[in-house]
Chain A
């Protein structure tokens, strides 16, 4: 049996879910025995294989056009898509900006923030992506497995990955189901 290929990426999140993944500590050796880790944001390979992977993992919500593209590419190239963490599942902390207009948030960040130089401007380079409403991943592409948590506990991530590696869809219940 060939090892299932796993790719991951992060969108509008804080990287905390990937840090929590690393918190599985020495169990990562066991995991690598079970799966073929392909592209991740913390390794050299940055995009999932064109030929496709078995499991795609996305951390973070979708808050701009680039995030949309990344999510769509991951969806296209993976068989099972996992939403990892509260931002991917619900929108999370970045989604709090949805209570304001995009113009307001940009102005606050680039003009009004205390750390800005005087006369700072909102960047307008046409090459930059466009900010959008912050959405959960499943509002943009269909998601197969939801792993809420801020971040999900390392044990829960290990459980999810080991279940997927062994060809099962993880069922998050009781003490494995945590939104905070």
Chain B
């Protein structure tokens, strides 16, 4: 521990801490612009200059390590003058006229810094050089005129997302933020996660959807979780007058520490489907508005009459509470019941857990220290993007990525080696690699022929795996052809052999919970006379729509109008993921609460209310202790 005096305050702080962090710990606020708690210090803006006894010049506190018996002053005439001068220089560099800027009025860190210094005007006028505006991206606008060259976006893109799309070209006042090698952002390698916008201190990077929708002073914040995939990232939902204005990553969330992907940040913003606002019942061939009582009575009567010929299918985007009640209702009457995912992403992991009789998967945070990541059978840059950020961002630390699958993978460009196996042979490749790692003298020619992979590539992969100390195996099964369900088992075998940690990415938000409730069987509507389809707010795929075309009595619970609701006998309107609340079990076994960010219309109910209502009408007793039942089945991860 080192002793340091900041503004007369004596504090003790660990070696390696910066003066800025030490000051914050002591409750002393030093103004900054380029600094961001999630990014490595850069020392670019010089706003955080402090006076240090014995040092000739002012020092940037964000990059200055604490030294023993250091005496620092943060608020002297010298530092105040320096700060004002720096702000004047920043304002004069480009177009920083506030009135027509998206972030003006509390959301701009540059403006706030000027207010903090009591600046009523600029000492230096701008140099009137126009800079371009890049509006080529579907989600973002890059306004170079507002850029202060702090490079927060560049660091976020590299350090947090690992994508390295953003960079700088040229020097001095000509420095320009560029995508890739200076091409329009919309044509670049940008994956549209929007992390750069979230860290931008000015209006240089703005979101198309949320721009001018409401400032910090006008919006409400709701911390909840994203239900886009099984990871369950923490998000901050901004609303104004019960309208969604923006979604940001929650910096305090244990799962994602602030980063979210395109699916979480932007997809919900483009929602334009028609909502269902009242229960609908088919009368004389067309759907007519009905009361909840009427609709649920019809459903319960039909359900009771079709014992044994009834079936229920539920979305894994719905909360655990709904999944559990759904299972109780339908299982109790001997109906065929499963989730819409059909266990495609979880069936083999649950079976493996039952075989091993204990959880075997590692947590996502073990990735931070990995020096080799082996990604099997899944393109994590598509359906589990944030996991791909976790992988991509450790590559600069020397981590080597190996991919094995049969199609193009978004990670291929980042991988040390990409093994492209013939479809259906992935499991054999993994098994052969495991043997090779065990015996040293495995014959690779057979598998090379079978999987159509060059022997040298297999050898390189083995070499990398052998020379790595902390290996992480990430396995997914949604992209693997049916019949190769042995992939996870093979991955488990390999992980065990080389002492690697294993992660199975699973599927939708409550994919794991669904399989814990045994909702992991294939969908079978053969001989079904009554079918209850419990959707949330998802867009049903063509395949799903086709599956239910011939069902005689179809009940669809859904938030939005779709071909499925058009084909139903009874339609029950439910809340969207932003309106409902409930619990989700993420792929690592974390139980997380989703809270409601928006209020739903009067006629719309939560899935839980709808299913509870149905149970009452059908005379089925419901046990609400979902937690006990959730852990009855051995799970692949420890549930907390």
Contact in complex: B121, A92 (CB < 8 Å): no
Question: Is B457 part of the contact surface with A, judged by Cβ < 8 Å?
Answer: no
Question: Is B120 part of the contact surface with A, judged by Cβ < 8 Å?
Answer: yes
Contact with B along A107-149 (1 / 0, CB 8 A): 0000000000000000000000000010110110001001110
Contact in complex: A172, B120 (CB < 8 Å): yes
Contact in complex: B121, A136 (CB < 8 Å): yes
Contact in complex: A92, B97 (CB < 8 Å): yes
Q: Which residue of B lies closest to A99 (CB)?
A: B130
Q: Hey, which chain A residues are within 8 Å of B98, CB to CB? A: 86, 150, 179-180
Contact with B along A138-180 (1 / 0, CB 8 A): 1100010011101000000000000000000000111001111
Contact in complex: B121, A95 (CB < 8 Å): no
Beyond A86-B97, A92-B99, is A146–B104 a contact (Cβ under 8 Å)?
A: no
Bound CA span A138–B123, Å: 9
Q: Which residue of B lies closest to A148 (CB)?
A: B120
**Chain B interface main SS type:** loop
Q: Which of A89, A98, A139 contacts B128 (CB 8 A)?
A: A98
Contact with A along B135-150 (1 / 0, CB 8 A): 0000000000000000
Beyond A99-B130, A135-B125, A139-B125, is A177–B99 a contact (Cβ under 8 Å)?
A: no
Q: Hey, which chain A residues are within 8 Å of B119, CB to CB? A: 177
Interface residues in B, total, Cβ within 8 A? 21
Bound CA span A86–B126, Å: 14
Contact in complex: B99, A83 (CB < 8 Å): no
Question: Is A90 part of the contact surface with B, judged by Cβ < 8 Å?
Answer: yes
Contact in complex: A138, B130 (CB < 8 Å): no
Q: Hey, which chain A residues are within 8 Å of B105, CB to CB? A: 178, 180
Question: Is B114 part of the contact surface with A, judged by Cβ < 8 Å?
Answer: yes
Contact in complex: A179, B104 (CB < 8 Å): yes
Q: Hey, which chain B residues are within 8 Å of A133, CB to CB? A: 128
Question: Is A93 part of the contact surface with B, judged by Cβ < 8 Å?
Answer: yes
Q: Hey, which chain B residues are within 8 Å of A136, CB to CB? A: 121-122, 125
Q: Which residue of A lies closest to B129 (CB)?
A: A99
Q: Which residue of B lies closest to A172 (CB)?
A: B120
Q: Which of A99, A146, A150 contacts B121 (CB 8 A)?
A: A146
Question: Is A56 part of the contact surface with B, judged by Cβ < 8 Å?
Answer: no
CB distance from B88 to the nearest CB of A (A): 12
Q: Which of A92, A135, A139, A177 contacts B120 (CB 8 A)?
A: A177
Q: Hey, which chain A residues are within 8 Å of B130, CB to CB? A: 99
Q: Which residue of B lies closest to A180 (CB)?
A: B104
Contact in complex: A91, B120 (CB < 8 Å): no
Task: Specify which of B98, B104, B111, B119 lies most central, judged by the most chain A CB atoms within 10 Å of its CB.
Answer: B98
Q: Hey, which chain B residues are within 8 Å of A179, CB to CB? A: 98-99, 104, 111, 114-115
Q: Which of A146, A173, A180 contacts B99 (CB 8 A)?
A: A180
Q: Which residue of B lies closest to A139 (CB)?
A: B125
Question: Is A29 part of the contact surface with B, judged by Cβ < 8 Å?
Answer: no
Interface residues of B in 75-123 (CB under 8 A from A): 95, 97-101, 104-105, 111, 114-115, 118-122
Q: Hey, which chain B residues are within 8 Å of A96, CB to CB? A: 97
Q: Hey, which chain B residues are within 8 Å of A89, CB to CB? A: 120-121
Contact in complex: B97, A95 (CB < 8 Å): yes
Contact in complex: A99, B120 (CB < 8 Å): no
Q: Hey, which chain A residues are within 8 Å of B115, CB to CB? A: 174, 177, 179
CB distance from A86 to the nearest CB of B (A): 6
CB distance from A139 to the nearest CB of B (A): 6
Bound CA span A146–B118, Å: 11
Beyond A146-B120, A179-B104, A179-B114, is A91–B99 a contact (Cβ under 8 Å)?
A: no
Q: Hey, which chain A residues are within 8 Å of B118, CB to CB? A: 172-173, 177
Q: Hey, which chain B residues are within 8 Å of A143, CB to CB? A: 121
Contact in complex: A99, B128 (CB < 8 Å): yes
Bound CA span A135–B126, Å: 10
CB distance from A98 to the nearest CB of B (A): 4
CB distance from A93 to the nearest CB of B (A): 7
Q: Which residue of B lies closest to A151 (CB)?
A: B99
Task: Specify which of B99, B104, B105, B111 lies most central, judged by the most chain A CB atoms within 10 Å of its CB.
Answer: B99
Beyond A98-B128, A180-B105, is A90–B120 a contact (Cβ under 8 Å)?
A: no
CB distance from A65 to the nearest CB of B (A): 19
Contact in complex: A91, B111 (CB < 8 Å): no
Q: Which residue of A lies closest to B103 (CB)?
A: A180
Q: Hey, which chain B residues are within 8 Å of A146, CB to CB? A: 120-121
CB distance from B273 to the nearest CB of A (A): 36
Contact in complex: B120, A150 (CB < 8 Å): no
B residues near A (Cβ < 8 Å) are 95, 97-101, 104-105, 111, 114-115, 118-122, 125-126, 128-130
Question: Beyond A136-B122, A179-B98: 20 further Cβ-contacts under 8 Å?
Answer: A83-B121, A86-B99, A89-B121, A90-B97, A90-B121, A90-B125, A92-B99, A93-B97, A95-B97, A96-B97, A98-B126, A135-B125, A136-B125, A172-B118, A177-B118, A177-B119, A178-B105, A179-B104, A179-B114, A180-B99
9 contacting pairs across A/B (C-beta < 8 A): A89-B120, A93-B97, A99-B95, A99-B128, A139-B125, A150-B98, A174-B115, A179-B99, A179-B114
8 tightest CB-CB pairs across the interface, nearest first? A146-B120, A150-B99, A180-B104, A179-B98, A146-B121, A98-B128, A99-B130, A180-B98
